[in-house]
Amino acid sequence: MQKAIFLDRDGVINSDEGHYYVHREEDFVLTPKLGECLKMLQEAGFLLVVVSNQGGIARGLYGVQEVERLNNLLRERMTKYGVALAEFYSCPHHPDFGKCLCRKPQPLLVQKALARFDIDASRSYFIGDRESDMETAHNVGVKGVLVKRNAGIVEAVKEILNFEL
């Protein structure tokens, strides 16, 4: 079994300051030192998986294609650092329009990744900027690491790698 880092997208991977529902390339600004941090985690043996609520789809603000375009842009930008993102899991729903089983803090999307990639939850982490991310971590048995929104993951990486030493 392998270990993994689950990452929220908006507010963690990219800044969502001034753009609550990030869906345009020109608004997709990566948080500080993201590439370097992900490279360190990957070199420490972690599989990297993005898990994101994309409620703007349900609200009609953008479509699945825009989410996929930004995910592909992120993959492309991370190749400069030698970083491979294993998969992206997104929930297109919003609670204003009904209930679903995949919106964080529901565990479904992380459970899919755990099964698909044979991930050991007890050796894995979820880096997020909201309490719902920490609830998701708790719901699937991974360690949650809360970061300040839009500030990057440098401190989280230091914390995780210290745990791993």
Tens of pLDDT along 40-91? 999 999 999 999 999 999 999 999 999 999 999 999 999 999 999 999 999 9
Unique residue bearing structure tokens 């997020």: 128
Residue 138 lies in a domain: yes
Domain that holds residue 54: 3-160
Question: What pTM does this model have?
Answer: 0.95
Residue 165 lies in a domain: no
Instruction: State the CATH number of the domain containing residue 156.
Output: 3.40.50.1000
Residue 102 lies in a domain: yes
Burial 117-135 (b: 16+ CB within 10 A, else e): eebebebbbbbbbbeebbb
Residue 153 lies in a domain: yes
On average, the pLDDT of the chain sits at: 96
The CB-side HSE value for 41 (13 A sphere, CA atoms) comes to 34
Count the domains in the chain: 1
135-151 pLDDT tens trace: 999 999 999 999 999 99
Among candidates 117, 99, 123, which has minimal Cα distance to 51? 117
Which residues are part of the catalytic machinery? 8, 10
Cα distances from 152 to residues 37, 130, 146, in angstroms, run 9, 13, 11
Residue 48 lies in a domain: yes
